[in-house]
Amino acid sequence: MNAVPRVSVCIPAYAAAAFLRSAVQSVLDQTYGDLEVIVVDDASTDGTLESISGLSDPRIRRYSNPSNLGGGANWNRAASLARGKWIKILCSDDLLRPRCLEEQVRILEDPRWADVGLVCGWRDVIDAGGKRILTRTTGGLRHHVAGRAALRAIVRSGTNPLGEPAAVLFRRELLEKTGPFDGSNPFMLDIDMWSRMLLSADLYAVPSVVCAFRVSGDSWSVQLARRQSHSYRRWIDRISRDPRYGLGTGDLLLGRFKSAGLNLARLAFYMGFVSRISFGKGAKSGRR
């Protein structure tokens, strides 16, 4: 293995003791081994870093912030510590599938795709116990997609077809060119970054599952669904005023319309999920 790893998987963590070990282990279990795992704990009080104390792999680098920075700032700190040519942000309760990095690095290192700056893939949605609930694809995005076309597809979809951070591997130099994650709209950290990167790079969408995105069975998930929709509208209003994106009125109207419809579907999903969890808990404890 090289002294400087090819891939940096950055895990910004906060109050993540329950799932952090599984997330880190999913990186260590990759079929692609030339990597580092950077864990940055954002001043948790639940023993987040202690949960991985038994993992002695030298590829793990552990950091702890003296005070809480918040989501966006911690993502940026984790990324700033990366040494690899390729970077992935992995949320502390999500998982990588074993061949994720192998498949995505292969694309980024292929001379045919020199203009590609981001590689994304499908993701499984899992529950707290790791059981698959459903699989999310990249919509109409397949294989090589020009950056501007991918950006327009994101806006017109009303959602984030590239996926959560775990689904995307990107070039380090692209992050340096684009600038830091924007923490002013926290639920758009990823989609905002992907969109800015697509202004100067192309996308490659791998048509296979590369990661798992975990959803919670508590009321927070429902609140999150509502806030995501509001955050999307804030984000699309902002970029509509930025001439770099070159978006048409039709793109923006379709994005807003689809965002509203998807919000209703998202709320129904989360509320149904919460109801199933609550029913299961009640049945096990003898409550009705």
Fold of the CATH domain 1-93: Spore Coat Polysaccharide Biosynthesis Protein SpsA; Chain A (3.90.550)
- In degrees, to the nearest 5, what angle opens at C-alpha 180 toward C-alphas 186 and 231? 20
Predicted local confidence at residue 279, as pLDDT: 44
Other Cβ atoms within 10 Å of 58 Cβ, number: 7
The 10s digit of each residue's pLDDT in 8-45 is 999 999 999 999 999 999 999 999 999 999 999 999 99
pTM, 2 dp:
0.87
CB-count burial class (<10 Å; 0-12, 13-18, 19+) for 154: buried
Domain boundaries, the chain: 1-93
Number of residues that this document lists for the chain: 288
Between 249-285 and 219-240, two packed helices, what is the crossing angle to 10 degrees?
A: 170
pLDDT tens, N- to C-terminus, the chain (288 residues): 458 999 999 999 999 999 999 999 999 999 999 999 999 999 999 999 999 999 999 999 999 999 999 999 999 999 999 999 999 999 999 999 999 999 999 999 999 999 999 999 999 999 889 999 999 999 889 999 999 999 999 988 888 899 999 999 999 999 999 999 999 988 889 999 999 999 999 999 999 999 999 986 543 444 555 566 778 888 888 888 899 998 888 877 777 766 665 555 555 555 555 555 444 443 333 322
